[in-house]
Amino acid sequence: MIIICEAKATEAQINAVESKIREAGLVVHRSDGAEHTILGVVGDRIRLDVGTVSVMPGVRDVVPVSTPYKLASHEFHPENTIVRVGEECLVGGMEIAVMAGPCAVESEEQIEASAEFAAASGARILRGGAFKPRSSPYAFQGSGIEGLKMLRNAADRHGLAVVTEVMTIELIETVSEYADLLQVGARNMQNFPLLTALGHAGKPILLKRGMSATIQEWLMSAEYILTEGNPDVILCERGIRTFETATRNTLDLSSVPVIKHLSHLPIIVDPSHGVGNRRFVSSMARAAVAAGADGIMVEIHPNPDKALSDGPQSLAFEEFGLLMNRCRIIATTIGRRLGKAK
């Protein structure tokens, strides 16, 4: 970090700042300008809190140079991470991973039809919530363990991996029995005890961006999982809250190149929650692939108008099939590929 002292900082104040830095085991380089003294700090920044230094007498500004997250950062991990999900699916490599399925598992028939169509279109991972974080306590809360079983069986019948949300620490073990990829929902992105526990889950984690989270906060949440020893984190952009009301959220597609610049972790995009309206889902899914996302997660339903959750943003099978054909063309154009139909 770089510390800029106030023009009127006294020698005693500057010395106190220098001592603070040395006490933290860091090295300080002092440079006296015509007006300001500048202190360059070298060493592991995590040992010294920016906030503590910035309020010391005589300090005008503190400019962090390195990122507050290390394990998630590209600087410390130049190779891109490829995460294996289930037996066959790799996320973060040449192939763009498609995760598709209903918002919530509702019945055998519904999840079977979704799995069949998803596999036949080239998706690799079946999604479906069994424990649902609903804004209203009166809305359908998911079918619980029965839902997990239906999801797993349908995925197995069609050679797909499974992603589903885990809402609490208590459910990690149960959900892990049925899922290949554990989803942390937007509402739990900063549930730090949950993230810490998932660091020991022994399964890859899909970490959705919180609806009001900055990219830095999102990466700090990934750091919670990584620092506990789980290296398999996939990030998922799912839209953030802005002043715009025409769409459910504002899908921040710029996070894709930004994450690629800052981090080695794979990033996928969920255009369904991003826009909340099926009319706009396909355009944003295609844009995500073009922007360099490592995958997309799309909600589909055999009868979207009858869905128990998120029907308005769910694609009918036909629309999804069309989207997959278009994404395949875009993937090829940018030197990547989409999964083959099963």
Chain residues in the site for ligand PEP (CB under 6 A): 103, 129, 133, 185-187, 208, 238, 273
| 308 lines the binding site for Mn ion (CB under 5 A) | no
DSSP assigned state of 122: T
Stretch that binds Mn ion, among 100-108, 133-141, 204-212, 225-233 (CB under 5 A): 100-108
CB nearer to ligand PEP: give 208 or 328. 208
Choosing among ligand PEP, Mn ion, none, which partner's interface includes residue 336 (Cβ < 5 to 8 Å by kind)?
none
Q: Which of 310, 314, 315, 317 is close enough to bind Mn ion by CB under 5 A?
A: 310
Q: Which two tokens stand for residue 91?
A: 């996320």
| Smallest separation, CB 153 to ligand PEP (Å) | 20
CB nearer to ligand PEP: give 33 or 133. 133
Q: Which residue in the block uniquely carries the two structure tokens 């690799």?
A: 124
| Smallest separation, CB 129 to Mn ion (Å) | 7
Helix axes 317-333, 108-121, angle to 10 degrees: 30
Q: Which residue in the block uniquely carries the two structure tokens 């809190």?
A: 49
Choosing among ligand PEP, Mn ion, none, which partner's interface includes residue 133 (Cβ < 5 to 8 Å by kind)?
ligand PEP
CB nearer to Mn ion: give 237 or 310. 310
| Smallest separation, CB 269 to ligand PEP (Å) | 11
**Contact between 286 and 260 (Cβ < 8 Å):** no
Q: Which two tokens stand for residue 39?
A: 């202190």
| 307 lines the binding site for Mn ion (CB under 5 A) | no
Beta bridge partners of 182: 164, 205
Could you give the angle at the alpha carbon of 199 between the alpha carbons of 197 and 202, nearest 5°? 105
DSSP assigned state of 179: -
What is the total count of residues that contact Mn ion (CB under 5 A)? 2
Choosing among Mn ion, ligand PEP, none, which partner's interface includes residue 238 (Cβ < 5 to 8 Å by kind)?
ligand PEP
Rounded alpha-carbon distances, angstroms, from residue 115 to 95, 140, 341: 20, 21, 12
| Smallest separation, CB 37 to Mn ion (Å) | 54
CB nearer to ligand PEP: give 58 or 274. 274
| Smallest separation, CB 103 to ligand PEP (Å) | 5
**Dihedral (Cα; 268, 271, 272, 275), 10-degree rounding:** 150
Choosing among Mn ion, ligand PEP, none, which partner's interface includes residue 301 (Cβ < 5 to 8 Å by kind)?
none
DSSP string, 298-341: EEB-SSGGG-SS-GGGPBPHHHHHHHHHHHHHHHHHTT-EEPPP
| 103 lines the binding site for Mn ion (CB under 5 A) | yes
- Residue nearest Mn ion by beta-carbon distance: 103
| Phi, psi (degrees; rounded to nearest 5) at 205 | -120, 135
Stretch that binds Mn ion, among 40-48, 142-150, 179-187, 308-316 (CB under 5 A): 308-316
In the chain, the DSSP E strands lie at 2-5, 27-32, 37-42, 59-63, 83-85, 89-91, 95-101, 125-127, 161-165, 181-184, 205-208, 233-237, 267-269, 295-299, 337-338
CB nearer to ligand PEP: give 9 or 184. 184
| Smallest separation, CB 327 to Mn ion (Å) | 20
Choosing among Mn ion, ligand PEP, none, which partner's interface includes residue 295 (Cβ < 5 to 8 Å by kind)?
none
Binding site for Mn ion (CB under 5 A): 103, 310
